[in-house]
Amino acid sequence: MITVDALPSTFSFRKEEAALIVIDMQRDFLEPGGFGESLGNDVAQLRRTIAPLAAFMATWRAAGLPVIHTREGHLPDLSDCPPAKLLRGAPSMRIGDPTRNGRILIRGEYGHDIIDELQPIEGEAVVDKPGKGAFYATELAELLEKDGIKSLLVAGVTTEVCVHTTVREANDRGYECLVLADCVGSYFPEFQRVGLEMIAAQGGIFGWVADSTAISLKEQP
Ligand code: C5J
């Protein structure tokens, strides 16, 4: 059993029942000149997660533990993108529009893929999702069931959108989630702070929170 000093209380998991899930670390969200920046966001707020996540992922992989990556995006004909999502707001660019990184959030385009620093390695699952949550309209539930996963360590972007939605979905399905505070990011510092507080509030209403550096993968008696 591994135990982690977390908020609001100790988080415990069995290595053979745990997976690291990395949410949407895609060029469209994190690269300077990409979609996220074009919306007026400061991508540095997300990019600060790359180094701690790369370090933690290396330790996790070295222990032989599974990593699952997700990517938010849509089919080229946008048939899996609800009009409400496509038309919402008044952005200068919309999903499917062309950029120098390819069409925004379209599967197969350069910008849709995971950043170079965190590319999946052979054998790791990549779950393509049309929504904010990683369970909606994906194979994630079957994948976790097949591997007997009960605990999820959660990293990625953005904290208050796709990380939150996925953790809430996972919580409702009976998974225990530890959100890695230094490995999740929001474009908005206030949302980052409050987003993490919301997870651990009320006795851990839908999860636990700790920095990745609080985790030692050495077995404790
Ligand atoms: C957003 C995400 N923020 N991955 N996507 O639209 O959080």
In this predicted model, what pLDDT tens digit does every residue of 123-182 receive, in sequence order? 999 999 999 999 999 999 999 999 999 999 999 999 999 999 999 999 999 999 999 999
Q: Comparing 27-31, 66-70, 74-78, 98-102, which segment has the lowest mean pLDDT?
A: 98-102
Instruction: Enter the pTM of the model.
Output: 0.97
- Residue 221 is predicted with a pLDDT of 66
Cα-to-centroid distance, 163 and ligand 1 (Å): 8
Range 189-204 average pLDDT: 98
Q: Which residues of 90-116 are buried (b: 16+ CB within 10 A; e: fewer)?
A: eeeebbbeebebbbbbbbebebbbbbe
- Residue 66 is predicted with a pLDDT of 98
Q: Is 113 a catalytic residue?
A: no
Q: Is 128 a catalytic residue?
A: no
**Which residue in this structure is represented by tokens 């599974």?**
66
| Ligand 1 atom showing the smallest separation from residue 156 Cα | 4
Q: Is 24 a catalytic residue?
A: yes
CB 36 within 8 A of CB 112: no
Cα-to-centroid distance, 38 and ligand 1 (Å): 14
Residue (of 23, 28, 25) closest to 109 by Cα position: 28
Q: Of the residues 28, 128, 162, 183, which is catalytic?
A: 162
Range 18-28 average pLDDT: 98
- Residue 154 is predicted with a pLDDT of 99
Residue (of 139, 67, 71) closest to 107 by Cα position: 71
Query: Taking 80 as the threshold, does the pLDDT of residue 220 lie above it?
Result: no
- Residue 33 is predicted with a pLDDT of 79
- Residue 12 is predicted with a pLDDT of 98
- Residue 121 is predicted with a pLDDT of 98
Instruction: Kindly state if the Cβ of 186 falls inside 6 Å of ligand 1.
Output: no
Q: Bridge partners of 12?
A: 3
- Residue 39 is predicted with a pLDDT of 82
Query: Taking 90 as the threshold, does the pLDDT of residue 38 lie above it?
Result: no
